[in-house]
Amino acid sequence: MSVNLSKLNELVNSANYAKAEFLLYDLIKTAPNDYNLNKNLGMVLLAQKKYQGALLSFEKCYFTNKNDIDVILNLSFLFLKVQDHAQCIKFSNEVIDIDPNNAGSYQNLATSYLEMHNFTKAEEYADKVIKLRGGINSKEFLKYTDFINVYADILLAKKDISAFVNFSQIILDKEFFIAEIFIKLLKQEPSKIKATYISVIENVINNPSQFENNVERNAQLASANICLAEFHKSKRKISENYFISANENILSMQRTPIYTRQQMYINLVDYFSKFKENLIIDKIDPNKGKGVIFIVGMPRSGTTLTESILSTANDIVAGGEKVFFTNNLWTIFSDLKSGQPLNPQFIEELGDRYLDTIELHRGGALNFIDKMPANFLFYKFIKLALPGSKFIHTYRNPWDNAISLFKANYQDTIIYASSFFAIATEYSNYSHLMKFWKKISKDPFLDMPYEEIVSNTDISIKKLWDYCGLKGEFSSQKRKSHYANTASQQQVSQDIYKTSLKKDEFSEFRDQFYDDFAQQDIFWEKRRNT
């Protein structure tokens, strides 16, 4: 085993986490309860952002030793990543009981309360983090870019724009490149952007050799190009070229092939075309999930705008983008392919666990909004688990949607957003899946075109209120104060406008986009007719 452990250390030190993971699984087969092996596996999975697997490993360690502060802190962080705020708070406080000066635990608490829209508590814990890390002006503070972004979001959520501007300039004045801070400052107060900030960004692009590996280099180059694209947005062609460069850098990183995703759609349609749901339906309360409202659709299709409108109703909580179903259902697609029947107990427990997870954030409110766009993939699973829930489907002109995706900085989340071909393929797959869901649905979801929302807002609001059974009057002012930690935050804070309709940017790609889109439609039509 000593030889294997030496090899393991070598792999971890060289950041070869995938091979380290396989080696650890082999070692654990012979020593399943070895504390250090399970802890190392948790660290390796965490490094790869495999949060569910890392949780299982660290939980196993925790039940063996409840005094290992590293394990407890990692559990706190992981429960934050899967948005189980109650558990995040529990483990964060356990860390504080052992080490009252542990800045990481206070950071997890600040982030958790921010996501639950408790901005007062978020700021309270954030202030503790700042103090423990030597203050905003310290070199130590600059090491924690994740927290810098969290603190900026807290200030923006509280609508303390002057404090946000001051904080952003303190950070950027140190000639320290954080793309998110630059872009947020640019959108809030463009007059506060200094020439030195631009010089720092240009230095990132002009000196790529300063980065240690290809992944870091491409990630930083992508972010820098997006910053300059946003800065030069009044010069359309220059801005477009920077966006193109940014997406070329993102595509240089390892990505999931688009046809792998297409197979996922095929599996869903084929499986549920023959699915018999009575065995599951008969066991679940038809009112389970009542008051939960899911907003789904392509990203950048109006999901955040719709959430902000709904959030002005009485007795409602906007929960943002919940990753619960993505985390718990993504691996199920392999079983679908093999024809494995759905376990009624699994479906019932899935609904129970989801309701438990959102309970703290919901806070007893009658209605709760989950606006994770990707939940459209899991529509049937969710309706089986929570038959009393409502679904709103937002959609948008394909080309307008494509441009909006292409201009966003989706490096780690939306794998198809960096290529117009991939977006066209994804949009076609998605639109045909939604048609299929509607065809087999006994409780149809509400279709809400983005164009209708912005052009006929009053009519759209009435449709939303009637469908969801909401009380209270819509408030434009309340909508603009809505916090959304997404690419749409700037739009939400403004009056509803129509300038996002009929975009003509990147015009040289438009015809090919629609050709690719049409080819995918032909593919689905052929499958439908065979």
Does a structural domain hold residue 121? no
Domain count, the chain: 1
What pLDDT, on a 0 to 100 scale, did the predictor assign at position 10? 83
Stretch among 162-171, 232-241, 324-333 having the lowest mean pLDDT? 324-333
Give me the domain span that covers residue 324. 258-528
Give strand pairing partners of 370. 294
How much is the pLDDT for 495?
A: 61
pLDDT band, residue 3 (cuts 50/70/90): low
150 or 481, greater pLDDT: 150
Q: Is the pLDDT of residue 491 over 60?
A: no
DSSP string, 432-487: HHHHHHHHH-SSPPEEEEHHHHHHSHHHHHHHHHHHHT--S---HHHHHT----ST
Q: Is residue 110 part of a domain?
A: no
pLDDT at 14: 81
Name the percent of the chain lying above pLDDT 90.
71
What pLDDT is stored for residue 8 in this prediction? Answer: 81
Collapse the DSSP code of 100 into the 3-class scheme (helix H, G, I; strand E, B; otherwise coil) and give the result.
coil
Residue 70 falls within a domain, yes or no? no
* Per-residue model confidence (pLDDT) at position 16: 85
Task: Decide if 148 is inside a domain.
Answer: no
pLDDT score of 476 = 86
Total number of residues shown for the chain: 530
**pLDDT in the model for residue 39:** 94
Report percent pLDDT > 70 for the chain: 93
Over the stretch 169-182, which tens digit does the pLDDT of each residue have? 999 999 989 999 99
CATH assignment at residue 368: 3.40.50.300
Name residue 157's beta-bridge partners.
none
Show contacts of 459-467: CB within 8 Å, 24+ apart.
460/309, 461/309, 464/306, 464/309, 464/310, 464/392, 465/313, 467/390, 467/392
Please give the residue that has the higher pLDDT: either 258 or 389. Answer: 389
DSSP string spanning 6-54? Answer: HHHHHHHHTT-HHHHHHHHHHHHHH-TT-HHHHHHHHHHHHHTT-HHHH
What does the CA dihedral 83, 261, 448, 513 come to, rounded to 10 degrees? 130
Average pLDDT estimate for 500-511: 84
Computed over every residue of the chain, the mean pLDDT equals 91
| pLDDT given at position 501 | 66
The least confident of 233-237, 260-264, 364-368 is: 260-264
Cα 464 to Cα 457: distance, rounded to the nearest angstrom: 10
Report for 394-408, 471-485, 494-508: range of highest mean pLDDT: 394-408
Query: Mean pLDDT throughout 505-519?
Result: 95
Regarding predicted confidence, which is higher, 398 or 332?
A: 398
Binning the chain into helix, strand and coil, the percentages to the nearest 5 are 65, 5, 30
Task: Return all residues near 530 (Cβ < 8 A) that are at least 6 apart.
Answer: none
What is the phi/psi pair of residue 395, to 5°?
A: -145, 165
Local confidence band at 259 (pLDDT 50, 70, 90 cut-offs): low
- Please report the pLDDT score of residue 258 as a whole number: 65
Is residue 297 in some structural domain?
yes
Q: What pLDDT does 320 receive?
A: 93
What confidence tier does 261 reach under pLDDT thresholds 50, 70, 90? confident
Q: pLDDT band for 99, please (50, 70, 90 cuts).
A: very high
- 159/414 Cα distance (integer angstroms): 28
Tell me if 171 is assigned to some domain: no
pLDDT at site 471: 95
Lowest-confidence pick of 248-257, 360-369, 432-441: 248-257
In-domain check, residue 253: no
Distance between CA atoms of 306 and 321, rounded to whole angstroms?
13
22 belongs to a structural domain? no
Residues 15, 9: Cα–Cα separation, whole Å:
10
Q: Can you tell me the mean pLDDT for 371-381?
A: 96
Is the pLDDT assigned to residue 257 strictly greater than 80? Answer: no
pLDDT at position 7 is 83
Looking at residue 497, its pLDDT comes to 59
Between 257 and 16, name the one with better pLDDT.
16
